[in-house]
Amino acid sequence: MRAAVLVEPGRLDLQDVVLDEPGPREVEIRTAAVGLCHSDLHYIDGTFSTSLPEILGHEAAGVVTRVGSEVESVRIGDHVVTCLTIFCGHCRYCTDGHLSICANRSALRKRPRPVATTPDGTAIGTMSGIGGFAERMVVHENGVVAVPAGVPLDRACLVGCSVLTGVGATTRSVRIPLGADVLVVGCGGVGMAAVQGARLGGAGRVIAVDISPAKLDAAKEFGATHVINAAHQDVLQAVRELTGAGVDFAFEAIGRRETVEQAVACLGPGGTATVLGMIPDDQPVRIPATDLLFNEKKLQGSFIGSNQFRTDVPRLLELYAQGRLKLDEMISMRLPMDHINEGFDALRRGEVTRAVVEV
């Protein structure tokens, strides 16, 4: 099959790859569509490292073509969305309903043979056990969820990462009281989904921050009530002018130490800041400790929206069917896999909310 492989940081290489057959609890999926996420770009640009060569891509949707002997949750022909929080279902976190931090998530991706190889036998890994930049994927059954066959797969794929992350962070990682003030820093696919989640969750002011005027215009379409251009405005001062003491909830959807610190600074007393972005090099975040104590501020992370994706993905697609969750508008570029690097160039330049590869 054809796959876009990261051989060394820089660009993806289109290659012919041999995919292994599914193991007992794995499924083979014919990829239909896959979103280009900044998490993929972190590995392409080398701001995060992984063992190479690897097939990146994790925001994918497709059709099940084969199932392993023990697979129970999906059948051949099912339309599925992948999610990178593969869960075991029986560890202390899973049984407590916190699937996104499953204790066995890495163990579940280990397999006796490499999932893919070059024609001459060199092992190729798959990102997060998915590897969506390929014509087919072999994924653990607990990394997929079946979706109604009528949902267009180019839109369904977005729910697997950016939408689950942004909406989950604003609805599962925190509970927003009706009318509370929300700040979303960074309006890419993840941030735009957080804007939508805040609106759906009953927020009052939804203040979106970005450095691109086009992104800020789009954020208004997704439900932002106010926007701040961080390239020209002092974000903290602008937030205080709008809210007085600061916001009740802030979400960092870029992956920068400085903007995490900014999100905490923009909180009012009792506020909670949630980190969605991947910050390179394990950089420490510096926040004034007395701000935590005297103002009872909180700082937390949300991994893929603290999701329970088997429940969340169908629910989110129902909200899409009702016209309450915007997915069509999130796609600002479509391209075939041969042009995947152009999609990442556009993402790097901050030009797209989501680029989707149609495989």
Q: Which residues contact ligand APR (rule: CB under 6 A)?
A: 37-39, 42, 162, 165, 185-191, 209-212, 215, 230, 253-255, 259, 276-278, 347, 350
CA distance to 3, 183, 204, 242, 356, per residue, from 238 (Å): 46, 11, 17, 6, 34
For the record, the structure tokens of 308 come out as 């329970």
Nearest to 40 by CA among 232, 223, 189: 189
Nearest distance from residue 245's CB to ligand APR, in Å?
22
Of Zn ion, ligand APR, none, which one sits near residue 102, judging by CB under 5 to 8 A according to partner kind?
Zn ion
**Of 157, 161, 187, 266, which one is the catalytic site residue?**
161
Nearest to 85 by CA among 314, 330, 316, 313: 313
Q: How far apart are CA 350 and CA 286, in angstroms?
A: 26
Nearer to ligand APR, 39 or 225 (CB): 39
Nearer to ligand APR, 138 or 190 (CB): 190
Of ligand APR, Zn ion, none, which one sits near residue 94, judging by CB under 5 to 8 A according to partner kind?
Zn ion
Of ligand APR, Zn ion, none, which one sits near residue 189, judging by CB under 5 to 8 A according to partner kind?
ligand APR
Nearest distance from residue 252's CB to ligand APR, in Å?
8
The helix (run of H) or strand (run of E) holding residue 198 is helix 189-200
The 3-state secondary structure of 82-136, one letter per residue: ECCCCCCCCCHHHHCCCHHHCCCCCHHHCCCCCCEECCCCCEEEEHHHCCCCECE
Would you say 47 and 280 are in contact if contact means Cβ atoms under 8 Å apart?
yes
Active site residue 226: no
Nearer to ligand APR, 217 or 241 (CB): 217
Site for Zn ion in 9-48 (CB under 5 A): 37, 39
Nearer to Zn ion, 39 or 243 (CB): 39
- Give how many residues touch Zn ion by CB under 5 A: 9
- Stretch of 154-162, 290-298, 316-324, 341-349 contacting Zn ion, by CB under 5 A: 154-162
Of ligand APR, Zn ion, none, which one sits near residue 91, judging by CB under 5 to 8 A according to partner kind?
Zn ion
Burial of 350 (0-12, 13-18, 19+ CB in 10 A): middle
Nearest to 340 by CA among 328, 352, 327: 352
Nearer to ligand APR, 4 or 37 (CB): 37
56 near Zn ion, rule: CB under 5 A: no
Active site residue 37: yes
Question: Which residue in the set 27, 134, 147, 161 belongs to the binding site for Zn ion (CB under 5 A)?
Answer: 161
Nearest distance from residue 279's CB to Zn ion, in Å?
15
What count of other Cβ atoms lies within 10 Å of the Cβ of residue 235? 19
Active site residues: 37, 39, 42, 58, 161
